[in-house]
Amino acid sequence: MTTSPTTNEDVNDSPKAEDLLRILESLDALVYVSDMHSHEMLFINAYGRQRWGAPNGRKCWQVLQDGQSGPCDFCTNPQLLGADGHPPPTIVWEFRNTRDGRWYQCRDQAMQWHDGRMVRVEIATDITERKTLEEALKASNQQTRKLAYRDDLTQLPNRRAFFESYRKQMETLTPDQPLALVLIDLDHFKMVNDVRGHAAGDHVLKVVAELFQAQLKPLDILCRLGGEEFALVLPNTSLPCATALAKRLHEALRSHTMEYAGQPFLVTASLGVAATTCAEADLNDMLKAADRAMYRAKAQGRDQVCSEALSSQNESRPE
């Protein structure tokens, strides 16, 4: 009967050099050693030789990378020797190899070679599959986020995006900068649907979004709150300037001839404008003020712009 070792100590008692080499040569990972200063490749295991070839006296950057005329600018050697002479802990990083295009997790450390010089030892495992999955997940998350924040029909930011944009503006603007909000509600939109059909209503919503967007500056944020209601956040804009812009939007819409299924028709909107200094720009108060102004526009016969200041300072604030 054969007896087998029972503890690690028994196994590691007297490891033979050829056994250690056999382990290195059969590893499913790149292991290489290069001179810290000259970058000469001193050892590369079978895994590495199969993918990058034998070193033949070349430097590590000549063996492992493409298009290098000197040491790589991403080389971790400078980090491997601590200022106090003691090597810091192993450096772990991820890198896409320039020769095979695959991703590797690299574990680098410095050690003293048998002839006394300092060398770098790298163990690199192929993590391409994991990276591919991570990238697919990231892309899918971005797409999900895009869908969650975009209105499908008009491609404008939706209600959720509106609340987030408003909050961001509050953080970005200085306390004395004005902020304006315009609520826009199409007039008698139900009639468009009833008389011309739901598809015609959808067409109108898309055209309105494009018409308005064409009048805006890059920092102005037009959102579709839902149904036939839109909101416009205007950073650093006073009440007079916001009202003037709202009047331009109002005019652009009422003077635009819609056309659906060969039939021309007109659409109008009621707009409510509110503005305040950023320091006072509580979203609920702003929404209420813009809503009041918008309902005043509806009550006064629709097809017009009304405004309401939250703070008297806004009345004379320049754009």
Ligand X SMILES: Nc1nc2c(ncn2[C@@H]2O[C@H](COP(=O)(O)OP(=O)(O)OP(=O)(O)O)[C@@H](O)[C@H]2O)c(=O)[nH]1
Query: Applying CB under 6 A, which residues contact ligand X?
Result: 153, 185-190, 193, 198, 201-202, 205, 227-228, 298, 302
| Residue whose structure tokens are 């410095």 | 110
In sequence order, the 6+-apart residues with CB closer than 8 A to the CB of 265 are 192, 196, 257, 258, 259
Beta carbon of residue 73, minimum distance to ligand X (angstroms, whole number): 53
DSSP letters for 117-171 = -EEEEEEEEE-HHHHHHHHHHHHHHHHHHHHHHB-TTT-SB-HHHHHHHHHHHHH
How far apart CA 181 and CA 12 sit, in angstroms, is 74
Nearer to ligand X, 43 or 265 (CB): 265
How far apart CA 175 and CA 220 sit, in angstroms, is 18
Annotation says 122 is catalytic: no
Q: Which of 294, 138, 291, 170 is nearest to 235 (CA)?
A: 170
In sequence order, the 6+-apart residues with CB closer than 8 A to the CB of 58 are 40, 41
Q: Which of 247, 262, 259 is nearest to 307 (CA)?
A: 247
Active-site pick, 25, 40, 122, 228: 228
DSSP reduced 3-state for 105: strand
Nearer to ligand X, 120 or 203 (CB): 203
Beta carbon of residue 266, minimum distance to ligand X (angstroms, whole number): 14
Beta carbon of residue 147, minimum distance to ligand X (angstroms, whole number): 16
**Nearest residue to ligand X, by Cβ distance, number only:** 201
Nearer to ligand X, 160 or 168 (CB): 160
Nearer to ligand X, 179 or 269 (CB): 269
Beta carbon of residue 200, minimum distance to ligand X (angstroms, whole number): 7
Nearer to ligand X, 106 or 200 (CB): 200
Beta carbon of residue 180, minimum distance to ligand X (angstroms, whole number): 22
Task: Please name every residue paired with 120 in a beta bridge, in sequence order, or none if there are none.
Answer: 34, 110
Q: Catalogue the active-site residues.
A: 228
